[in-house]
Every structure is written in C-alpha cells, then in structure tokens.
Chains A and B, each alone.
Chain A
Amino acid sequence: MQNFGAAFGDAFRLLGGFDPALMEIILLSLRVSVTAVFISALIGLPLGAILGVSRFRGRAAVLVLLNTLMGLPPVVVGLLVYLMLSNAGPLGPLALLYTPGAMIIAQSILVIPIVAALARQTIEDMHAEYDEQLRILGVGRWGMVATLLWDARYSLLTAMLAGFGRAVAEVGAVLIVGGNINHVTRVMTTAIALETSKGNLALALGLGLVLLLLAIVINAAVMGLRATAARSAHA
C-alpha cells in the first residue's frame, strides 16, 4: 500500500503525462456517456414535451412513474439490462453483453427518465404561458411541441447536462453489463473500483480527479447557460 501523498503525486504524473492507459479509459467513458445522453435526448426530450402539453387519463400515474424512474438504482438497471442481453435473454442473439453497446443501453435507461422528467416540467410551465398565443397564430399540436422545445433549449441543455453527470458517475450498471474488461469496457468508475481494491491508488486517484473535474465543468456549464438565458430574458 502506497502512502497517500505518494499516491497523489503519482496520480498527477499520470494525468500530466497523458498516460495512455488512463487516456483510453477516460475516452471510453466519455464516448459511452455522451452517446447515452445523445440517445436519451432523442427519446426523452420529445417524450417530456408530449407529456408536458397533453392531458389524458392516467397522466398522473405516468408522471409518478417517470419521477420514480429518475431515482432508479443503477445496479437494478444493470441487472435488468443483463437479463435482457444475456444468452438466454430476449436480446441475447445481438451479442451485446460485455460491449460498450451494452453500457450505452444501460446508461440511456438511467438518463432517459431524468431528461424526460425535467423536460416535462419545463415544457409544461412554458406551455401554460404560450398555449393561447400559439393557438391564435394557428399553430398545431406538433408545431407547438417544436416551438416549446426550441424556446426551452437552455433549460433542456441543463437537463441533458444533469443526465450526463449521472451517467458518467454511475458504476453499478456499467459494471454488470460491461464487466470492466481491460481495453474493451473499462470506464472511469469501474476502473476506480477495481484499482482501489488492487491497491493501485495512483490510477484510481487520477481517474477520480478527472471525474471531479468533469463535475466542475458540468456545473460551470450549467451556470453559464443560466447566465446566457437570463441575458436574453429566456428564464
């Protein structure tokens, strides 16, 4: 076991030297989580918008379900995706288990409810304000959804950043469906778990610092978006 200070020093050396093993893990993490957020936006934003503008029987139950899914434990999602993708599962023939594709699916399932629920709230509030004005202009249901998505773009980007924060930081789902295979499915969070248990604190700390940095960047981006939105009276 290295001592703490030495581990920190080694971590900074790894980061400063753009250590190839470290970089490979970071890039895979980003690729998986960015793709998952992109897919989540494609599904979650229209879903949230439609929920925000429509009234139907059972809507309240759908909203309760959506808000519950926001807090879904990653290991449970991992387990469910594992069951779907395993050889005996319905999607077994796709042979996705233990690939980045499986991790993208699992993270998408985690992020879609976040994006959809936040989008629903934003769009619903804006819809209350815009509804009569847009109807007077002869805008139909789909035109209204498109208008609301565009005019709420800053808030929706914030929702996507929140989703990215959750995706890149979770460990349970990607560990189960990805398996933490070196050079294939090893991402920052699973690497930290493994390297810590092996006693390789330098690599774990280096990756932890990168995650911390990402969190700072995400929060700064959220604040920047808010300021931009306020400047043009978007809020």
Chain B
Amino acid sequence: MRDAAMPLDAPPAARGDRRVLPITAHGLMLERAGRRIIDNVSLTVDGHGISVIMGPNGAGKSVLLRLLTGLLSPDAGMVRWAGRRADRARAPSVGLVFQKPVLLRRSALANVRYALRAGSRAERTRRAGEALARAGLAHLAKSPARILSGGEQQRLALARALAPEPEVLLLDEPCANLDPAAAAAIETLIRDARARGTKIVLVTHDVAQAKRLGDDITFIHDGRIVERAPAGGFFDNPASNAGRAYLEGRLLID
C-alpha cells in the first residue's frame, strides 16, 4: 500500500478482465450519525506482499475495508478496481475475511464449495476439499460449519476466502481470540497465499504479528491515515504522535 500519487506498476495481465489491482481510493469520506468515520483517505493497494493496517479501536479500519471492497459506498471520493468501478463479476478476485466470520448453515466443505462459483459440482467439491486440506480442516469437512470452534471457524473462513484464488485478500483481525498454535496456522496460510502471488491487506492489533508478516504499515487514527511506512521504519521510529502512542500502549488524547 502506498500513496495514491505514486506511479502504479502494471500487474501481470494473466487475469484479463477479472483483474482488480491496483485498488485505488481517492478522497474517501464517510459520515454516520453526524460523525466522520473516514476522513479524506486516499491510498493504493497494489504490487505483492503484505500491507498491514494498524490503528486503535474505532479508528475506521473495518469500515475502510468495506469501502475498498465496495460493500459500502463513500459519501465522497471514489474507489476503483483496476481503474473501473467495483462490480459483481470481479468480486471473486477480491477476498475479504470479516472480523466476525459469517459461516453458512452448511457443512464446512459446502461453505468452501459455495465460494467457488465456476465449474461443475464435482470439480468444485474437489477444489473445496483441497482448500480445506491446506487449512488443516480436512477431518472436519462434513461437520456443520457453525458448530466448529472459534479458531476452526476462522481458519474455515480464511480457507473459503482463499479457495477462489483472489488477486487480493483483505483480512480483518484474522487471529483475534486465537491460541498461539491456531494463530501460527493462520499465519502460515497467509504466507502461503503471499508466496502464490496474492496481494494481502492485513488489519491487526498484534505488533509482533505485524512485524513478522508486514512489508509496509499504514497507521490509521480517527478515520485518517496518519502514517505510512515500510514495516521496519514504523516500528523502530514511528513518525506520528498517534503511532508512537499506539505502539507504547498509551491512549492518545488529542
């Protein structure tokens, strides 16, 4: 993720019409109940690697992901996927795992198969099975998704988002409430996806995880982007007061 003003490098054209990168946002503004939740945010999601978004509770991280995916329309500004408006045909190229995953009232396997919109049923079943196996959930394929444990549900939601092989994957705190082993399993899935060339945007409050995974950091405070830096730079020497306060675990009163 970097400044909208910077030049865009052309991503491989292999996906043809389904391409969504770069995702660009210009001057996004969103107001709810008379409050600015997102205030003049411009950014570009492109290239490879893992972009981390950090910021205190209520900063607007989840809302920003909804804007980038087209689930929410901004009151001002615009979002473009590869230069065009977000559209349903390209939705499978943009994966999003919500902060609270929503699983369908079906088996784990059926949940993943549902996300695969193309191909015969047998083909989709096979691919869904593979996606489950990669997430270490093969033994739970037939279980109803909603009786899985919290960590298993989060892994299933990630497996479902990865199955259609999206060009970009947005993750909203995928490891919140997970034990260390489950968090490590999720991080492995994220790294594997990056290795296959998937662009990843990761919202997390876990500084150690951001250091392990992040290539660049975008810090959001009060609906504004206050800092953007390569991962190393941000953690060693945050440029903003808000960023420093966040890393030191202080509440910033301004």
Contact = CB atoms under 8 A, between A and B. Distances in A.
Interface of A: 129-130, 132-133, 135-138, 140, 147, 151, 232-234
A130 B104 contact: yes
Contacts of B102: 129-130, 132-133
A132 B71 contact: yes
B91 A137 contact: yes
A233 B88 contact: no
24 contacts: A130-B102, A130-B104, A132-B66, A132-B71, A132-B98, A135-B91, A136-B71, A136-B94, A136-B95, A137-B91, A138-B90, A138-B92, A138-B117, A140-B88, A147-B104, A147-B114, A151-B104, A151-B106, A232-B144, A232-B146, A233-B105, A233-B144, A233-B146, A234-B144
A136 B146 contact: no
Contacts of A132: 66, 71, 98, 102
Chain A interface mostly = helix
Nearest to A137: B115
Q: List 3 tightest A-B contacts by C-beta distance, closest first.
A: A138-B91, A233-B146, A232-B144
Contacts, number: 47
Contacts of A151: 104-106
B96 interface: yes
B92 to A, nearest CB: 5
A147 B117 CA distance: 13
A153 to B, nearest CB: 9
Contacts of A135: 71, 88, 91
Nearest to A130: B102
A135 B91 CA distance: 8
Nearest to A151: B105
Contacts of A232: 105, 144, 146-147
A129 to B, nearest CB: 6
A150 to B, nearest CB: 8
A234 B91 CA distance: 27
Nearest to B144: A232
Contacts of B95: 136
Contact of A133 (B98, B105, B146): B98
Given A233-B144, A233-B146, A136 B106 contact: no
Contacts of A140: 88
Interface string B76-113: 00000000000011111011101000101110000000
A32 B89 CA distance: 45
A35 B105 CA distance: 29
Contacts of A133: 98, 102
B69 interface: yes
Contacts of A137: 91-92, 114-115, 117
A138 B166 CA distance: 12
Interface centre among A132, A138, A140, A233 (most CB of B within 10 A): A138
Contacts of A136: 69, 71, 91, 94-96
A126 to B, nearest CB: 8
A77 to B, nearest CB: 35
Contacts of B89: 138
A136 B117 CA distance: 12
Interface centre among A130, A136, A137, A234 (most CB of B within 10 A): A136
B107 to A, nearest CB: 9
Nearest to B66: A132
B20 to A, nearest CB: 12
Contacts of B98: 132-133
Contacts of B106: 151
A135 B117 CA distance: 13
Nearest to A141: B88
Nearest to A154: B105
Nearest to B161: A136
Nearest to B91: A138
A216 B98 CA distance: 44
Nearest to B115: A137
Contacts of A129: 102
Nearest to A152: B105
Interface string B138-176: 000000111100000000000000000000000000000
Nearest to B89: A138
Contacts of A138: 88-92, 117
A233 B69 contact: no
Contacts of B105: 151, 232-234
A132 B146 CA distance: 18
A19 B100 CA distance: 60
Contacts of A147: 104, 114
